[in-house]
Amino acid sequence: MANTKIDNRTWWDTLHKNGPFDLKLFLTTKMEKSSSGLSDFERYKDAAIEIQRLIQLALDSNERFRAIGSKWSMSSIAHCKDRMHYNAFLNLKFPIFEGEIHPASSYEHNNLFLFQSGNRIKDISRFLERRGKSLKTTGASNGQTIAGCISTGVHGSTIDSGSVQDYVVGLNMITGPNPEDNIYLERESRPALTDTYAKNFATVIIRDDDMFNAVLVGLGSMGFIHGVVVESENLFLLRRYVKKINKKEALQLANTLDFSTYDPKIPDGNFKGVRPFHYKVFINPYNTNETKYGAEFIYKIKYYDNYKLDFGEPIPFQKEFVYLDLIYLFIKIAEKFSKSIPTIINLLKSSILPKEEKTTVGKLSEIFWDAGYQGKAFACSFGVDHTNASKALELMAKVTRENPVPGIFAMRFVKSSEATLAFSKFPFTCMVEIDGIQWKDNDNLISLTDYSTKLIEVLKNNNIPFTIHWGKNANWKFPGLINHMYGKNVKKWKKIRAKLLSIPMQEVFSNSFLDSTKLSEPLAIDEDLIV
C-alpha cells in the first residue's frame, strides 16, 4: 500500500530562496514497491486512494492542501501554510497502445503517454528518447515536474509550438475524497483515450473543452493532478548559435517575427529565411550606448544517430556557455565585479554583453538542460503581444534605470495557448523578463514589490496589454491586476472551478496566492448568471 510520511515543519522555501514561508505539515507519499506483485496501474490507483485519504484529513482539520513539485516557481504560487504534498515519488510512466485510443481521436497512439504528476521533465525526456520520441518543448531548464509546468503555464519559448500545457491532451484529476472525485478530463473536440482505458484509473470521465482549457493552467487550485497524458513527437535535434547582432535588427525581428529574408550567418549552416525554433534577445538595460544585443538562434533539424561525432557532446559544451539562461548570464557578468550590489549596478552602465559565437547541436533535453544557477534569485516576466515587444522593453528598461535593481533583460517568444488563464495569451507572446540576484534592504534599493508595481503601472499607463508569468515575482496584490490581464476569462475560470470543486474543496485547494489575486473568491450570483 502507498504510505505517506508526515513531517512537522515551521517553514518552506523555493529553489531560489524567495521565502521562507510558514508551514505546518510536509507530506511525502511513496507508492507500493514494484516488487510487491502489483501491476503499475494497481500501484497508480493505490496512490490515488492514499491522496484522497490525505485530502479527507485536510478537510476534517479545516486546513488547506497543496501539491508541490520541484520548487521552481519564484512567486508564492506553490506555497500553502497548512499541508504541502511533495509529488516527486509519484513517477510512473505508461505508453498508450493502439486499442487504447478513442475511435474519434486524431492522435497517433505511439505519440501518447500517461505520466504520473511527479515525473520531472528530464526523466520524461529520457523515457521518451529511448522510444525515439521527444517532448515538443520544455522550459529553459528541465528540473520541473510535469504537473508543476502545466499548472503555472511554463513556456519553452518555442515560437510555433506553444507552452508545455499545449501538448497535454488528458488530465487525471482528484478533486476530493470520494470515489466520484477521481476524474479523467479531456477535450470533447479532440478525444484521446477510450473510456475503457480511462476507467483503469478514473471513476468519472468528462469530455468538455471549456473545462479542460480552464484546468490546464489551474494554478494548483483545481484539485490534485495525478496523471497527465501528453502528445510527443519524433526525436529531433536543435542547432543553437549565439552571436551579437545590431540592436535595431534584433528589435525588428522581435516586433515582426519575420525571418523570411534574414540570414543569421551561422557557420557551416544555411538558415537564411528560416524561422527559428527559438529566438531570444539579451539586453543590458543600463548601457544605453551599446549598439548590439546578444541573440540566441535555435533551429530544428532532423535527428540522426551520429550527431555527436559531427558536433561533439552537447552538455559539456553547454557548461562552457555564458548565455545559458538570463540569471546565469547576469551571474557571469557580475562575478568579475565587487560583491556590493550598488557597485555591480554602477559598473553595468559601462559593461558590454560578452561575445560568444559558439554553436552546439543536441536533443531538446540537451539544449534546454539543468539550470545554470540555483542560488538566491529574482525574476519578473511580463507577456505582451510581440508587436509591442520593443516598446514594452524600452518602457521597462527606463523604469529599471530610474529604479536600479541587480538584473538584466531578455525577450523570448511563444505561440498562443488555449488555456483560459495562460499568460501566453497573445497570438505570439513576447516574454519581456528581467532576472538577477536578490538584494537586501541595506543595499538602499527599491523593494522588489515596489519595482514590479512600477513595471505594471508603466505598461498600464501606456496602454500595452500584458500578462505576468504565474511563477515569477510580481506585486500580485496590485488592485484589479488579474481582471485587467484576463478580463472575462477570470469569470470563466472561476465558474469552471466552482463546477469541478465543491465549496469545501475550493477552500482546501486554495492558498494565500489565490487569495491575493482574488481568484479564490467565488462568483457573485449575478456574475454566475452572466457567465
Q: DSSP string spanning 173-214?
A: EE-SSSGGGEEEEE-SSS--B-HHHHTTT-SEEEE-HHHHHH
Q: Indicate whether 468 pLDDT > 90.
A: yes
Residue at a domain's end among 185, 214, 234: 234
Question: Is the domain of 245 the same as that of 370?
Answer: yes
- Report the pLDDT value the prediction gives residue 333, as an integer from 0 to 100: 64
Q: Indicate whether 338 pLDDT > 60.
A: no
Distances (CA, A) of 368 to 112, 125, 309, 324, 428: 22, 11, 20, 9, 21
**Sequence-ordered list of residues with C-beta below 8 angstroms from that of 340, at least 6 positions apart, any chain:** none
- Distance of alpha carbon 169 from alpha carbon 156, whole angstroms: 18
Question: Is the domain of 127 the same as that of 257?
Answer: no
Domain that holds residue 305: 236-475
Q: Indicate whether 140 pLDDT > 90.
A: no
Question: Is the domain of 143 the same as that of 23?
Answer: yes
Domain containing residue 90: CATH number: 3.30.465.10
Q: From the centroid of its chain, how far is CA 377? A: 17
> pLDDT category, 530, cuts 50, 70, 90?
very low
Q: Indicate whether 164 pLDDT > 50.
A: yes
Question: Is the domain of 509 the same as that of 468?
Answer: no
Question: Is the domain of 154 the same as that of 300?
Answer: no
Which of 25, 43, 24, 23 shows the shortest CA–CA distance to 33? 43
- Report the pLDDT value the prediction gives residue 326, as an integer from 0 to 100: 58
Which of 433, 485, 439, 435 shows the shortest CA–CA distance to 460? 485
Q: Indicate whether 268 pLDDT > 90.
A: no
**Sequence-ordered list of residues with C-beta below 8 angstroms from that of 339, at least 6 positions apart, any chain:** none
Reading the block at residue 94, the C-alpha cell is: 505508461
For residues 372-389, give the mean pLDDT. Answer: 88
Residue at a domain's end among 189, 215, 234: 234
Reading the block at residue 378, the C-alpha cell is: 529574482
How do residues 4-59 score in pLDDT, each as one tens digit? 999 999 999 988 888 899 999 999 999 998 888 899 999 999 999 999 999 999 99
- Distance of alpha carbon 474 from alpha carbon 467, whole angstroms: 11
Which of 183, 245, 165, 168 shows the shortest CA–CA distance to 51? 183
- Report the pLDDT value the prediction gives residue 331, as an integer from 0 to 100: 65
Q: DSSP string spanning 465-511?
A: --EE-TTS---TTSTTHHHHHHTHHHHHHHHHHHHHS-HHHHHHT--
- Report the pLDDT value the prediction gives residue 141, as an integer from 0 to 100: 74
For residues 441-454, give the mean pLDDT. Answer: 89
What's the total number of domains in the chain? 3
CB 356 within 8 A of CB 242: yes
pTM of the model: 0.93
Q: What strands lie across the sheet with 65-68, from one edge to the other?
A: 3-8, 25-30, 83-86, 65-68
Distances (CA, A) of 118 to 29, 58, 360: 11, 21, 30
Question: Is the domain of 93 the same as that of 146?
Answer: yes
Reading the block at residue 76, the C-alpha cell is: 508564492
Q: How many CB atoms lie within 10 A of CB 194?
A: 16
Q: Do you find a cis peptide bond into 406, omega within 30 degrees of 0?
A: no
Which of 38, 277, 225, 230 shows the shortest CA–CA distance to 131? 230
> pLDDT category, 165, cuts 50, 70, 90?
very high
How do residues 68-99 score in pLDDT, each as one tens digit? 988 888 899 999 999 999 999 999 999 999 99
Q: DSSP string spanning 508-525?
A: HT--HHHHHTTTTSPPPH
For residues 161-166, give the mean pLDDT. Answer: 91
Question: Is the domain of 91 the same as that of 186?
Answer: yes
Q: Indicate whether 397 pLDDT > 80.
A: yes
Question: Is the domain of 225 the same as that of 326?
Answer: no
SS3 for 327-351 is HHHHHHHHCCCCCCHHHHHHHHCCC
CB 134 within 8 A of CB 232: yes
Strand partners, 470: none
- Distance of alpha carbon 307 from alpha carbon 22, whole angstroms: 49
How do residues 314-337 score in pLDDT, each as one tens digit? 876 655 565 566 566 666 666 666
How do residues 412-435 score in pLDDT, each as one tens digit? 999 999 999 999 999 999 999 998
Phi, psi of 346 (to 5 degrees): -65, -40
> pLDDT category, 359, cuts 50, 70, 90?
confident
How do residues 480-499 score in pLDDT, each as one tens digit? 999 999 999 999 999 999 99
How do residues 191-205 score in pLDDT, each as one tens digit? 999 999 999 999 999
**Sequence-ordered list of residues with C-beta below 8 angstroms from that of 214, at least 6 positions apart, any chain:** 222, 419, 420, 421, 492, 493, 496, 497
- Report the pLDDT value the prediction gives residue 70, as an integer from 0 to 100: 86
351 versus 59: which is more confidently predicted? 59
The C-alpha cell 471549456 sits at 210
- 62-66, 116-120, 340-344, 348-352: the lowest-pLDDT one: 348-352
Domain containing residue 399: CATH number: 3.30.70.2520
For residues 224-234, give the mean pLDDT. Answer: 98
355 versus 399: which is more confidently predicted? 399
- Report the pLDDT value the prediction gives residue 319, as an integer from 0 to 100: 58
> pLDDT category, 531, cuts 50, 70, 90?
very low
Question: Is the domain of 412 the same as that of 515?
Answer: no
Question: Is the domain of 202 the same as that of 264?
Answer: no
Residue at a domain's end among 196, 216, 234: 234
- Distance of alpha carbon 229 from alpha carbon 147, whole angstroms: 11
Q: For the chain, what percent of residues have pLDDT higher than 70? A: 91
Reading the block at residue 146, the C-alpha cell is: 510535469
Question: Is the domain of 304 the same as that of 412?
Answer: yes
For residues 502-530, give the mean pLDDT. Answer: 84
For residues 494-510, give the mean pLDDT. Answer: 97
Question: Is the domain of 403 the same as that of 351?
Answer: yes
Q: Do you find a cis peptide bond into 20, omega within 30 degrees of 0?
A: yes
- Report the pLDDT value the prediction gives residue 336, as an integer from 0 to 100: 61
> pLDDT category, 151, cuts 50, 70, 90?
very high
Q: Indicate whether 371 pLDDT > 90.
A: no
- Report the pLDDT value the prediction gives residue 87, as an integer from 0 to 100: 95
Residue type, 318: Q
- Distance of alpha carbon 298 from alpha carbon 294, whole angstroms: 13
- Report the pLDDT value the prediction gives residue 529, as an integer from 0 to 100: 38
Q: Where are the alpha helices (DSSP H) in 302-388?
A: 307-311, 314-320, 326-334, 341-348, 364-367
Mean pLDDT for all residues in the chain: 91
